[in-house]
Structure 1
Amino acid sequence: MQRRGFLKAAVVGAGSVALSFTLGHRALAYPAKSGPSPYGDLLAADGNGLMLPQGFTSRVIARTGELVPGTGHVWHGAPDGGACFADGSGWIYVSNAELGNGAGGVSAVKFDAAGNITGAYPILSGTTDNCAGGASPWNTWISCEEFDKGLCWETDPWGVKPAVSHEAMGQFNHEAAAFDTGRNVVYLTEDEPDGGFYRYTPTVWGDLSAGRLQVLTTDLTWADVKPKGQKCRKQVKNMMRFDGGEGAYYRNDICYFTTKGDDKVWAYNAATNQLATVYDDDTTGNAPLTGVDNITGDPHVGDLFVAEDGGDMEICVITPDDVVAPFVRIVGQDDSEIAGVAFDPAGTRMYFSSQNGTTGTDDGGITYEVTGPFRRSL
């Protein structure tokens, strides 16, 4: 199904106003509408089943159940959220395994400066439904468990330090984490039809073991919640409810996060305490982005990249000049979702996974790398 057309922009919350995202460099788009991609049209699918713009190429770096090329590590099933970390002149890509009943965890792939794979290894095991998460400013990966008593696990991308869980960050259907380094807080999304948008303030920045957990209310204040016991989303009567919280990404005072139940991208402006709807596909049914899920940003020009769970199996770009358009489409994998979208430190390579691949099952996951002329200036 092709989905194109104009988008609707809206603002929500008492006293909120439209956020301007046409401020130039490193500002993200609002209000977004469908239009031509800055990267051009998608070409026919390549040998890996990816439709990409002119000048971009792809490779498969891992497949579920197979050895990562050049290593002795077997790649996990149901690859989900991920991130990249600088490693000298190279980098590391970490990937969650969204597998239930203690079969989940996180694996890592290490690359040298030329992009060659030099190693792969597990950094967390024995956990459940590791969905999304977030990279901390001190170079750890927070892997979030997506089940009723799910926890946030702090992991070491190098696999040296043991992973630890942080109950103070709450027990709930965790999805993503985004770090606000200006205020020393962590924003958390919850994958429930009536989920909350949370803020965690560590007692000591850099140590997530203790802190204060709060949830956003309908009057845009933050109310304290207990991290365990009564369900977090049931503790505050006027909690603002979001329909299936998914990815989260922070930049320049704003936390962008997505909700899959209503296919929206939100923006919480911490500096002005405002909440706005950046993207909403509830228009004529022809919006270019459906199944809104993972989200990340380009490190150079401020483009926002949003992955689809289903839909056309696309990653769409939302630009600072208010355009939303497809950047990549995976063909022949309609029973899957795209997850783990992340850039290498230089911003020249994008990583992501098709969670169920061509089989439509947890053992069909494929993890890709896309290389090409990503924008470095507007």
Structure 2
Amino acid sequence: MERRTFLRGAVIGSSAAAFGGTLVRGAAYAAPAQPGAGPYGALGAADSNGVMLPAGFTSRVIARSGQTVAGTSYRWHDAPDGGACFADGTGWIYVSNSEVNPGGGASGVRFDSAGAVTGAHRILSGTRQNCAGGKTPWNTWLSCEEVSRGYVYETDPYGVNAAVQRPALGRFKHEAAAADPVRKVVYLTEDETDGCFYRFVPATWGDLSSGTLQVLKASGAASGSFTWADVPDRDGSPTATRAQVSGAKRFNGGEGCHYAGDTVWFTTKGDNRVWRLNLLSGTYELAYDDSLVPGGAAPLTGVDNVTGSSYGDLYVAEDGGNMEICVITPSAVVAPFLRITGQSSSEITGPAFSPAGNRLYFSSQRGTAGSSSAGITYEVTGPFRV
């Protein structure tokens, strides 16, 4: 069977967010991605929004921090960060965290079937520095606090039900979450220089009120096998969760996390790496490492949030670097997909595809002014391969 056909079957069968496992299927320890020609060609000149895109793609601004979302009365939040899309009838909703402290929380923008904005609303308030998070198979948004002993909040993207604090998922400097409907667990990253990688095993799948928090154990540096061990005290006081289990694998600044096709990808900003867990074989390896690119010509630096497409491409946003979103293809090629110009004091956050896969949403957290109150949320439309 052709690899891409196999991938698409795995993604559809998992009912997970798209991005399958072709980067893993080819070999137990495939070589990390290397620069090459991207699937959409070279970037063109910056458009009127300051965004450089391949031919055939266009951008528009959806919202700006401190301003009302066009066509609504809702004021968009400061410092937009992690995000995800949710189907909403014939349209969809894009949710976005707010990485400010205090204040935090998250908001949503509603779109109709043609992509027109029809509303915006608050889904979480009164929290602290909500950075990334993750979508659940039961259509809730896990909004994560990136503070010491922070919480995960389960929110309703549709704005109907009140958000619920989920202390069972542990209290630590949370970054991102990714749900695995096959093993019925949620993976969690930790934004510490000596952070860990966790998974939460709910007592009942679909209910995050109780369960077991576990940490990944491994002895290898860049590859090897792994196991899971229970964290004795998920409250993280007086001993931090990352310091409770001997042999827990350390990761330098955990950031984005994405699951599909029996594989988990997550990023570490301290060493500019993208990691890959093969859940079938119980092994881990590097999907990308900028220090392994010959000649110092790494196109992807400042790795941060991640998302995936139904084709099998991984999209990695930069915190710094060239202010790019880079794509890592199933054939292990890494190349820029877009670049934001004139915003070197910002970072790209919250990449997420619409349900049809033909629109990509993301934010520049601090915009042209380099301030949390100057965030800009964008949409890119074009011939994404699906």
Q: Same fold (TM over 0.5)?
A: yes
1:326 aligns with 2:333: no
Q: Kindly provide the CA deviation profile for residues 278-300 of structure 1, in whole angstroms up to 9, marking residues without a partner as x.
A: 1000134221100000001012x
Task: Check the 8 A contact 1:341/1:352 in 2, yes or no.
Answer: yes
Q: Work out which of the residue numbers 357, 382, 386 in structure 2 matches 1:372.
A: 382
Q: Work out which of the residue numbers 324, 332, 347 in structure 2 matches 1:337.
A: 347
Task: Check the 8 A contact 1:196/1:216 in 2, yes or no.
Answer: yes
Identity percentage over the alignment?
61
Q: Kindly provide the CA deviation profile for residues 193-214 of structure 1, in whole angstroms up to 9, marking residues without a partner as x.
A: 0000001000010000100001
1:347 aligns with 2:357: yes
Distance 1:345 1:21, change over 3 A: closer
Give the deviation of 1:237 after TM superposition.
2.2
Q: What secondary structure, in the 3-state scheme, does the structure 2 residue paired with 1:162 have?
A: coil
- What is the aligned partner in structure 2 of residue 362 from structure 1? 372
Alignment coverage as a number of residue pairs: 355
Cα distance in structure 2, aligned partners of 1:21 and 1:272: 20
Give the deviation of 1:27 after TM superposition.
3.5
Distance 1:145 1:21, change over 3 A: farther
Give the aligned CA root-mean-square deviation in angstroms. 1.4
Q: Kindly provide the CA deviation profile for residues 112-167 of structure 1, in whole angstroms up to 9, marking residues without a partner as x.
A: 00000000010000000000000000000000000001100000001100000111
Residues 184-333 of structure 1: pairs in structure 2 closer than 5 A: 184-219=184-219, 220-225=226-231, 226-228=233-235, 229=237, 230-283=239-292, 284-299=295-310, 301-333=311-343
Cα distance in structure 2, aligned partners of 1:243 and 1:95: 25
Cα distance in structure 2, aligned partners of 1:261 and 1:106: 26
Q: What secondary structure, in the 3-state scheme, does the structure 2 residue paired with 1:271 have?
A: coil
- AA partner of residue 228 (structure 2): W
Distance 1:325 1:306, change over 3 A: same
Distance 1:93 1:294, change over 3 A: same
Give the deviation of 1:221 after TM superposition.
1.6
- What is the aligned partner in structure 2 of residue 140 from structure 1? 140
Q: Kindly provide the CA deviation profile for residues 240-259 of structure 1, in whole angstroms up to 9, marking residues without a partner as x.
A: 00000000000111110000
Cα distance in structure 1, aligned partners of 2:227 and 2:90: 43
Cα distance in structure 1, aligned partners of 2:82 and 2:346: 14
Give the deviation of 1:338 after TM superposition.
0.3
Task: Check the 8 A contact 2:191/2:255 in 1, yes or no.
Answer: yes
Cα distance in structure 2, aligned partners of 1:22 and 1:89: 27
- What is the aligned partner in structure 1 of residue 69 from structure 2? 68
Residues 110-121 of structure 1: pairs in structure 2 closer than 5 A: 110-121=110-121
Give the deviation of 1:236 after TM superposition.
1.1
- What is the aligned partner in structure 2 of residue 10 from structure 1? none
Q: What secondary structure, in the 3-state scheme, does the structure 2 residue paired with 1:168 have?
A: helix
- What is the aligned partner in structure 2 of residue 59 from structure 1? 60
Give the deviation of 1:56 after TM superposition.
0.3
Gaps of 5+ in 1: 1-19
Q: What secondary structure, in the 3-state scheme, does the structure 1 residue paired with 2:296 have?
A: coil
Give the deviation of 1:263 after TM superposition.
0.3
Task: Check the 8 A contact 1:28/1:318 in 2, yes or no.
Answer: no
Q: Kindly provide the CA deviation profile for residues 305-364 of structure 1, in whole angstroms up to 9, marking residues without a partner as x.
A: 000000000000011122110000000000000000000000000000000000001011
- AA partner of residue 376 (structure 2): I
Q: What secondary structure, in the 3-state scheme, does the structure 1 residue paired with 2:178 have?
A: strand
Cα distance in structure 1, aligned partners of 2:22 and 2:60: 29
Task: Check the 8 A contact 1:177/1:187 in 2, yes or no.
Answer: yes
Q: What secondary structure, in the 3-state scheme, does the structure 1 residue paired with 2:192 have?
A: coil
Gaps of 5+ in 2: 9-19, 24-29, 220-225
Q: What secondary structure, in the 3-state scheme, does the structure 1 residue paired with 2:157 have?
A: coil
* 310-319 or 212-221: bigger deviation: 212-221
| Structure with greater helix share of residues | 2
Cα distance in structure 2, aligned partners of 1:314 and 1:238: 35
Task: Check the 8 A contact 1:51/1:330 in 2, yes or no.
Answer: yes
Q: What secondary structure, in the 3-state scheme, does the structure 1 residue paired with 2:125 have?
A: strand
- What is the aligned partner in structure 2 of residue 160 from structure 1? 160
Distance 1:142 1:24, change over 3 A: closer
